[in-house]
Amino acid sequence: MSDEAMSDLGLDTILDEMLRGRAADAELRRWFRSPLPDSDAVRYRSSVMEDIDERLTLETAEKFALRSRRITDCLTSSEASPGTVQSCKWRLDAAVEYCKAVSEMKEALSRAGLRSDGLTRCSDWISAYATSKSFVRLRDDAFGLDRTFRDMRYNFIATDGLFYIYAGDEEADYCAELRNTFDRDGDSEACLQAISGLQTPGLEEETLRLLRRRYPAAFAALESFSHTHPSFVDPTAMTFAKELTFYIACLRYFRAFRKRGLYYCYPVITQKKELRIEAGYDLMAGTANRMIANGVDLHAEAAVVVPAFPDGPDSFARTVGQIIALSALGCPVPARSAVVPHIDRLYTHFPKADRPEMNEGKLKEELTRLHPIVAEAGHGSMVVLNETFSTTSTYDATSMGRKLLDLLTIRGAMCLFVTHLPGFAPEDRGADIKRVEEEVERYGLTKERLISRLKERAHG
């Protein structure tokens, strides 16, 4: 999707919000900017999204993705100190996280009642993989050796600027008790760190020397584990984890709207030139006190829409554009229900603010930006035009607007022209003239009163 369309529809801001905390993930950002190639791919991803949302649970997906990041971090740390005991221990920690992630996801998928082809296939694969001889051996070796190291006990005494290390005994583990006391979320992986960022390489070396002398068999088994399982991560599992981050980012964003009393849906994708939206809203205005929900019912190649309120054009155009763009990614959309055509290219043309350095008139600037849209748009394209030619006279805007729609529809593109000019479309044109039914319950307006106002405006 072009930068201009992302900006016009507010999708750049929406994407930044979705990727908060993962802004540097270039691949994830690229997925959100790349519409899927066909309607089957859209339905495939949308059904997976809905399964995660309603059956697998978002929390399960987030836990698997978190463990996958820990695996990567552990393996990175292991590679940073090759041939050392620390490297072997990091590799063991990665294996433990990996086995927990696979085993937990296997159980979650098996009891989720899945409906999507994508997650059903993942469930079949992970069930077979988790019961394979190689994985079972890895799991048993990793869990057994991990228990051995967790059972090791040693004590530190810090006094007079010195650390004393000695073998542990049966004293109570006060750190564990403190961790359990303050672990409100029940995260057993949490750790207690007395001095954040403290670097003690000498202390670590002395601790290892003591432990290796006291537990020689355990350290020998640790080195053997690294040789026995040099490469234990299956790429399929990590690819699954990576792709889950897309679904997690999207659902976490839309769940926030649901908590504010709004809604979202999974659109029906059609091959027809048909667009039906019930109670759609602008995500950029979804947090505002004044939230207007819009409806549209389009069964033609082109439509001219005259919103009923002064600030309606921008919000309505963004609403439709956002719904079309998100549906092309297989994502939920901000509406109570929606039927959306599959499009492979989305073009937008919104008014731009005047720039002091611009030496050309406003009309020429609009025509310059429209030129590549007219040249490129065709079958499979959707063009959203918002207040195009609004800076010129009503007659000129109407005349040029009609010619623009003719050019685009002849090329096979679907067009939505949002304007404040009620007399825009001619009587003999095949385009439907739609008056937007805007639900504004906050102001006590009913649908009937809105229709009455629209009729008065049309005849007044």
What digits encode the pLDDT tens for the residues 44-96? 999 999 999 999 888 999 999 999 999 999 999 999 888 888 899 999 999 99
- What integer is the mean pLDDT of 430-436? 44
Query: Exposure of 409 by Cβ count < 10 A (0-12 exposed, 13-18 middle, 19+ buried)?
Result: buried
Query: Exposure of 143 by Cβ count < 10 A (0-12 exposed, 13-18 middle, 19+ buried)?
Result: middle
Q: What is the pLDDT of residue 312?
A: 65
- What integer is the mean pLDDT of 215-239? 94
- What integer is the mean pLDDT of 396-400? 87
Which of 167-181, 242-256, 272-286 is predicted most confidently? 242-256
Separation of CA 5 from chain center: 18
**Contact status, residue 138 vs residue 232, Cβ threshold 8 Å:** yes
Q: List C-alpha distances in Å: 37 to 43, 78, 310, 343, 411.
A: 11, 40, 37, 9, 20
Q: What is the pLDDT of residue 336?
A: 94
Q: List C-alpha distances in Å: 69 to 218, 250, 293.
A: 27, 18, 39
Q: What is the pLDDT of residue 326?
A: 96
Residue written as tokens 């006279």? 393
Which of 57-61, 161-165, 333-337 is predicted most confidently? 333-337
Q: What is the pLDDT of residue 398?
A: 85
If pLDDT is split at 50, 70 and 90, which confidence band does 26 have? Answer: confident
Sign of CA dihedral 399, 402, 407, 413: positive
- What integer is the mean pLDDT of 218-241? 94
Sign of CA dihedral 198, 200, 201, 207: negative
Range with the lowest mean pLDDT among 134-138, 236-240, 411-415, 453-457? 453-457
Task: Measure the CA angle with vertex 229, ends 221 and 105; round to 5°.
Answer: 110
Beta bridge partners of 165: 156
Query: Over 90: is that where the pLDDT of 109 sits?
Result: yes
Query: Over 90: is that where the pLDDT of 107 sits?
Result: yes
Q: What is the pLDDT of residue 456?
A: 64
Q: Quote the CA–CA distance of 274 and 230 in Å, as a whole number.
A: 55
Q: Residue 362: CB partners within 8 Å, gap ≥ 6? A: 354, 391
If pLDDT is split at 50, 70 and 90, which confidence band does 389 have? Answer: confident
Q: Quote the CA–CA distance of 306 and 454 in Å, as a whole number.
A: 9
Which of 15-29, 71-85, 199-213, 297-311 is predicted most confidently? 71-85
pLDDT mean across residues, the chain: 83
Residue 338 dihedral angles phi and psi, to the nearest 5°: -160, 140
Query: Over 60: is that where the pLDDT of 125 sits?
Result: yes
Higher pLDDT, 225 or 316: 225
Q: What is the pLDDT of residue 285?
A: 81
Query: Over 80: is that where the pLDDT of 360 sits?
Result: no
If pLDDT is split at 50, 70 and 90, which confidence band does 431 have? Answer: very low
What the block records as the tokens of 353 is 């603010």
The reported pTM is: 0.79
Per residue, the 3-state secondary structure of the chain, as one string, reads: CCHHHHHHCCHHHHHHHHCCCCCCCHHHHHHHCCCCCCHHHHHHHHHHHHHHHHHHCHHHHHHHHHHHHHHHHHHHHHHHCCCCHHHHHHHHHHHHHHHHHHHHHHHHHHCCCCCCHHHHHHHHHHHHHHCCHHHHHHHHHHHHHHHHHHCCCEEEEEECCEEEEEECCCCCCHHHHHHHHHCCCCCCCCCCCCCCCCCCHHHHHHHHHHHHHHCHHHHHHHHHHHHHCCCCCCHHHHHHHHHHHHHHHHHHHHHHHHHCCCCCECCEEECCCCEEEEEECCHHHCCCCCCCEEEEEECCCEEEEECCCCCHHHHHHHHHHHHHHHHHCCCCECCCEEEEECCCEEEEECCCCCCCCCCCCHHHHHHHHHHHHHHHCCCCEEEEEECCCCCCCHHHHHHHHHHHHHHHHHCCCEEEEECCCCCCCCCCCCCEEEECEEECHHHCCCHHHHHHHHHHHHHC
Query: Over 70: is that where the pLDDT of 191 sits?
Result: no
- What integer is the mean pLDDT of 118-133? 96
Q: What is the pLDDT of residue 338?
A: 95
**Contact status, residue 348 vs residue 5, Cβ threshold 8 Å:** yes
Q: What is the pLDDT of residue 287?
A: 55
